[in-house]
């Protein structure tokens, strides 16, 4: 936001630079630096900004042979069609529910873990635990999907072995819509809990030990120290990460959902991203799925701005 | 200060240690089970006799995986993408971050805004797909490399680090007549070794694990990277080509055993280097958090 202000000022007061070398002279003197920026800027232009401009096909009846320039304009047709589409409610509610569960369960898990790790005195034990818990972050979703398929397999999986040994019938976890969201949430926690704790651990170590000393002298127990020192100490970090998470509420990580999803679990697991992939890339419905993507991006931006405002008002923390 | 600890605190520490140990077990259990199963006989698998130790130990599953040409082809594709992709990532990231780390560079904030904006508002996937398609990259490995040439997030990490280098060094080099390009290579990069290493690892792991790009851009079987091939084996249960390739009777082989062996083959390279690179990753994650 500051950037725009800065540009405005420069345009409004060109005489401000008269005391210094002119803009052109500066450009020339630093031409090597500007030259270095060219490949990177080309990348952002071609792969980030051209697609943003290309999103106009959401308002066209885009035909790959006619191209953007000659395809017919249809206004909000695709948006209207999508919003009235019988599956729209299912896609949006699946997306929002899974996202809501992520914020409710996946987001706090690393905070709790960091608090627990922060209490460990034995350094060797702490390092071992960290090494093991960070590791799944580096496994791909396909591999984790593979581990999950094996673990939950009705014939050979460890979980069903346990269920059968307790005398119950084996459960087809991956073929039951009722289990889909639980699988997504628990695999998210499994993969990222350890890794995401790193940032909170850093925030914890940033709290001055003298605060705890002072609290102890005042007779505060461990619980009171937690509530009055630790929580306020990590609040800025928590709020910042929560804000970013809210901005991505419609983005669930395609790779994770897609690896566990099958037609039987569409009912609870088909989300905007997986639908876009099937209808757009596989079926070639370019305009409709671009409209969905644009809806997602705009909603994400608005959510981020709203969350940022709210957080600024409520806790004083904000991204910009 | 009292030296003897309160019994409540001792109990708390014990519970804490147990909870953390349990979390570690939950992480390791699925991997141990799959590893044990991949070495177990078909018979033992069907009768659900395999827990955490192989039953009817044999290598047939792994032999079949290694004899499968598609495994090697996709592995080669992945190696190419990781090597060339990471190289391009590093060159572009350093070249873009260096000028932006100079506070005296005019227009720096505008360029930064252009980059950061892509982190909060991103283009829908279909127009991106159409760009890649119109560049003629579909079904080539370049489609897995070029659209991911720079990560805005990693660029910001690199930029933050460059900014901490003392400007006097560059001033002195400038007086000696060194060009900016040589300064990047001979001053900025060597002084930023920790972050260079971290970024390289971030990029390499991203390429190794990525299957979304391949799902979007690759339909030719020969061009599939390892993760996409693994996906067809795991999620679509596509092991028939492996089973059919084995001519002699290998009694121990089974579809599930093959799936598990393939999963293990794709996991082991990451696990093998993980202990050596862990501390660099943590460093990178921390630099990232300071940036906020």
**Strand-pair partners of A72:** A61
For residue A260, what pLDDT is reported? 93
**Are A280 and B271 within 8 A, CB to CB?**
no
Which domains can be identified in chain A, with CATH numbers? 16-46 (no CATH), 77-315 (1.10.3720.10)
Q: Which residues contact B162 (CB under 8 A, 6 or more apart)?
A: B97, B98, B101, B188, B192
For residue B289, what pLDDT is reported? 54
**Are A47 and B131 within 8 A, CB to CB?**
yes
Q: Identify the H or E element spanning A170.
A: none
For residue A8, what pLDDT is reported? 39
**Residue B90 scores a pLDDT above 80:** yes
Contact predicate B223/B42, CB 8 Å: no
Domain B60-292: assigned CATH number = 1.10.3720.10
For chains A and B, count residue pairs whose Cβ atoms are closer than 8 Å.
277
Percent of chain B with pLDDT over 90: 48
Percent of chain B with pLDDT over 70: 90
**Are B34 and A247 within 8 A, CB to CB?**
no
Q: Identify the H or E element spanning A110.
A: helix A108-118
Q: Which residues contact A297 (CB under 8 A, 6 or more apart)?
A: B121, B122, B123, B124
**Are A158 and B33 within 8 A, CB to CB?**
yes
In this prediction the pTM is 0.87
Using CA coordinates, name the residue in chain B closest to A21.
B106
- Residues within 8 A of B (CB atoms), A 16-55 only: 23, 26-27, 30, 32-34, 36-37, 39-41, 43-44, 46-55
Q: What is the mean pLDDT of residues B40-44?
A: 81
Top residue of A143, A243, A302 to mutate, by most chain B CBs within 10 Å, is A143
Give the ipTM. 0.88
Segment A294-317, tens digit of pLDDT: 999 999 899 889 888 888 887 777
**Are B126 and A195 within 8 A, CB to CB?**
no
Q: What is the mean pLDDT of residues B149-177?
A: 91
Residue B28 is nearest to which of A6, A132, A277, comparing CB atoms?
A132
Top residue of B124, B171, B178, B210 to mutate, by most chain A CBs within 10 Å, is B124
**Are A116 and B16 within 8 A, CB to CB?**
yes
For residue B214, what pLDDT is reported? 95
Give the residue, B1 or A53, on which the prediction is more confident.
A53
SS (H, E, C) chain B: CCCCCCHHHHHHHHHHHHHHHHHHHHHHHHHHHHHHHHCCCHHHHHCCCCCCCCCCCCCHHHHHHHHCHHHHHHHHHHHHHHHHHHHHHHHHHHHHHHHHCCCCCCCHHHHHHHHHHHHHCCCCHHHHHHHHHHCCCCCCCHHHHHHHCCCHHHHHHHHHHHHCCCHHHHHHHHHCCCCHHHHHHHHHHHHCHHHHHHHHHHHHHHHHHCCHHHHHHCCCHHHCCHHHHHHHHHCCCCCHHHHHHCCCCCCCCCHHHHHHHHHHHHHHHHHHHHHHHHHHHHHHHHHHHHHC
Q: What is the mean pLDDT of residues B2-24?
A: 83
Using CA coordinates, name the residue in chain B closest to A161.
B48
- Cα distance from A205 to chain B (closest Cα, Å)? 12
Q: Which residues contact B181 (CB under 8 A, 6 or more apart)?
A: A32, A36
Least confident of A153-167, B18-32, B145-159: A153-167
Residue A259 is nearest to which of B29, B210, B231, comparing CB atoms?
B231
Contact predicate A268/A177, CB 8 Å: yes
**Are B12 and A145 within 8 A, CB to CB?**
no
**Are B209 and A301 within 8 A, CB to CB?**
no
For residue B37, what pLDDT is reported? 86
Q: Where does residue A72 rank: exposed (0-12), middle (13-18), buried (19+ CB within 10 A)?
A: exposed
Least confident of B118-122, B203-207, B216-220: B118-122
For residue B138, what pLDDT is reported? 94
Q: Where are the domains of chain B?
A: 60-292
For residue A180, what pLDDT is reported? 94
Residue A280 is nearest to which of B98, B118, B126, comparing CB atoms?
B126
**Are A292 and B124 within 8 A, CB to CB?**
yes
Q: What is the pLDDT along chain A (320 residues), one digit of tens a residue?
A: 344 444 434 443 344 444 566 777 877 788 899 999 999 999 999 999 999 999 999 898 888 888 888 888 888 988 998 888 888 999 999 999 999 999 999 999 999 999 999 888 888 999 899 999 999 998 999 999 999 988 888 877 888 888 888 888 888 898 889 999 999 999 999 999 998 998 898 888 888 889 988 988 888 888 888 889 999 989 888 888 888 888 888 888 899 999 999 999 998 999 999 999 999 999 888 999 999 999 999 998 998 898 888 888 877 777 77
Using CA coordinates, name the residue in chain A closest to B105.
A30
What is the Cα–Cα distance from B228 to B219, expressed in whole angstroms? 10
**Number of other CB atoms surrounding residue A163 within 10 Å:** 15
């Amino acid at each position: 936001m500051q950037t725009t202000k800065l540009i405005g000022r420069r345009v409004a007061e060109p005489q401000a630079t008269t005391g210094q070398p002119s803009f052109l002279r500066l450009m020339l003197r630093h031409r090597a630096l500007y030259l270095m920026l060219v490949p990177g800027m080309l990348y952002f232009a071609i792969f980030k900004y051209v697609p943003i401009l290309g999103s106009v096909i959401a308002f066209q009846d885009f035909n790959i042979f006619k191209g953007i320039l000659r395809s017919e304009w249809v206004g909000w047709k695709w948006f209207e069609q999508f919003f009235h589409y019988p599956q729209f409610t299912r896609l949006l509610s699946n997306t929002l529910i899974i996202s809501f569960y992520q914020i409710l369960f996946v987001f706090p898990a690393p905070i709790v873990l960091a608090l627990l790790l922060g209490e460990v005195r034995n350094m060797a034990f702490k390092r071992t635990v960290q090494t093991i818990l960070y590791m799944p972050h580096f496994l791909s979703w396909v591999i984790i999907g593979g581990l999950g398929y094996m673990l939950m397999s009705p014939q050979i999986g460890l979980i069903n072995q346990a269920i059968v040994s307790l005398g119950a019938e084996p459960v087809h976890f991956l073929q039951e819509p009722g289990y889909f969201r639980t699988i997504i949430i628990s695999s998210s926690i499994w993969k990222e809990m350890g890794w995401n704790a790193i940032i909170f651990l850093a925030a914890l170590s940033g709290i001055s030990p003298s605060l705890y000393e002072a609290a102890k002298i005042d007779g505060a127990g461990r619980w009171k120290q937690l509530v009055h020192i630790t929580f306020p100490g990590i609040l800025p970090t928590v709020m910042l990460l929560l804000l970013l998470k809210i901005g991505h509420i419609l983005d669930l990580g395609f790779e994770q959902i897609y690896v566990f999803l099958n037609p039987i679990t569409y009912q609870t697991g088909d989300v905007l991203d997986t639908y876009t992939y099937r209808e757009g890339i596989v079926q070639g419905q370019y305009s409709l799925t671009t409209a969905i993507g644009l809806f997602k991006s705009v909603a994400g931006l608005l959510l981020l701005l709203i969350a940022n405002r709210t957080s600024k008002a409520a806790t004083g923390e904000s991204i910009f | 200060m009292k030296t003897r600890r309160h019994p409540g605190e001792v109990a708390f520490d014990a519970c804490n240690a147990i909870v953390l140990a349990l979390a570690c077990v939950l992480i390791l259990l699925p991997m141990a089970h799959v590893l044990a199963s991949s070495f177990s006989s078909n018979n033992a698998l069907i009768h659900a006799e395999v827990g955490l130790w192989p039953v009817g130990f044999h290598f047939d599953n792994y032999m079949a995986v290694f004899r499968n040409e598609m495994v090697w082809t996709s592995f080669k594709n992945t190696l190419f993408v990781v090597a060339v992709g990471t190289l391009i990532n590093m060159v572009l990231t350093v070249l873009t971050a260096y000028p932006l780390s100079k506070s005296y560079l005019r227009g720096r904030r505008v360029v930064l805004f252009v980059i950061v904006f892509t982190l909060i508002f991103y283009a829908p996937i279909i127009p991106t797909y159409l760009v890649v398609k119109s560049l003629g990259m579909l079904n080539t490995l370049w489609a897995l490399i070029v659209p991911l040439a720079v990560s805005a997030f990693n660029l910001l990490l690199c930029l933050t680090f460059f900014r901490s280098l003392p400007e006097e060094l560059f001033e002195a080099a400038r007086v000696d007549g060194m060009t900016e390009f040589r300064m990047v290579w001979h001053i900025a990069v060597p002084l930023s070794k920790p972050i260079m290493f971290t970024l390289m690892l971030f990029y390499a792991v991203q390429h190794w694990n990525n299957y979304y790009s391949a799902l979007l851009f690759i339909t030719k079987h020969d061009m599939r990277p390892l993760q996409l091939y693994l996906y067809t084996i795991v999620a679509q249960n596509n092991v028939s080509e492996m089973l059919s390739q084995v001519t002699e009777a290998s009694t121990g082989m089974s579809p599930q055993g093959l799936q598990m062996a393939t999963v293990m083959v794709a996991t082991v390279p990451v696990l093998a280097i993980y202990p050596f690179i862990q501390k660099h990753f943590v460093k990178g994650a921390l630099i990232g958090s300071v940036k906020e």
